[in-house]
Amino acid sequence: MIALLIAYAQSQPHMPQINLVYWVIIGGTLLLSLAVSGMLKSRFSEYSQVPIRMTGAQVAEAMLRAHGIRDVRVVSTPGSLTDHYDPVSKTVNLSEPVYAMNSVAAAAVAAHECGHAVQHQQAYQWLAFRSKMVPAVQFASNMLNWIMMLSIFGMFMFGPMTLWIYVALFGVTTLFALVTLPVEFDASRRALVWLEGSGLAASMEHEKAKNALFWAAMTYVAGAVGSLAQLLYFLMMALGQRREE
């Protein structure tokens, strides 16, 4: 499949001539993401078998109360690993297994999402910055999708100027991926501090919760690394075209 994509891209004069390095970056990023995702699912499955006395929903509600947060609701959302905090609706959305399960894995995930609610309450600067970036990221992502779609059908020409536009748009999404890292690591730190202080988890369970959150954070690291590598590749391509002019 990759070989066919390479051949097609090289046959289109309106598309930038992507060489083997780019496909190595894509392949390496994909393999890294799959490896991290596989490890996360493995750890979540393993730690889901370690019971505690509270469900994920109860853990979330207890952590919110402990921080004096009364205006955030804990709700169940369909799917697996779909957990997230929504600052607009002020809801901690827990996937169905996490919401109802009383395990170390569920407690770790629930506490992590509540960590974002605590960040919101305390106006954590990186979360605020990431929230302000959302409209720009949505615009950049939509534009990137349109550019690639139009270029495939020969309706968009990649010249020096348009390549720089592509780099700028990709830079916005890459910056968002990088800004996400301190937000996620800080939420995990807050979750672990609360879990340890609450006495909910014994020392061995605390280490398991820490390990589960570590691999969850690694999914964001893998995405950021892949995005940064692609940005640098297209930046070098744009700089190379400038030198040829």
Which residues are identified as catalytic?
113
Q: How far apart are CA 117 and CA 121, in angstroms?
A: 6
Instruction: Classify strands 91-95 and 73-77 as parallel, antiparallel or unpaired.
Output: parallel
Which residue in the block uniquely carries the two structure tokens 């393993």?
A: 46
Whether the CB-CB separation of 85 and 113 falls below 8 Å is answered with: yes
Interacting residues of 28 by C-beta distance below 8 A, sequence separation 6+: 226, 229
Largest CA distance in the chain: 68
Query: Of 99, 231, 106, nearest to 174 (Cα)?
Result: 231
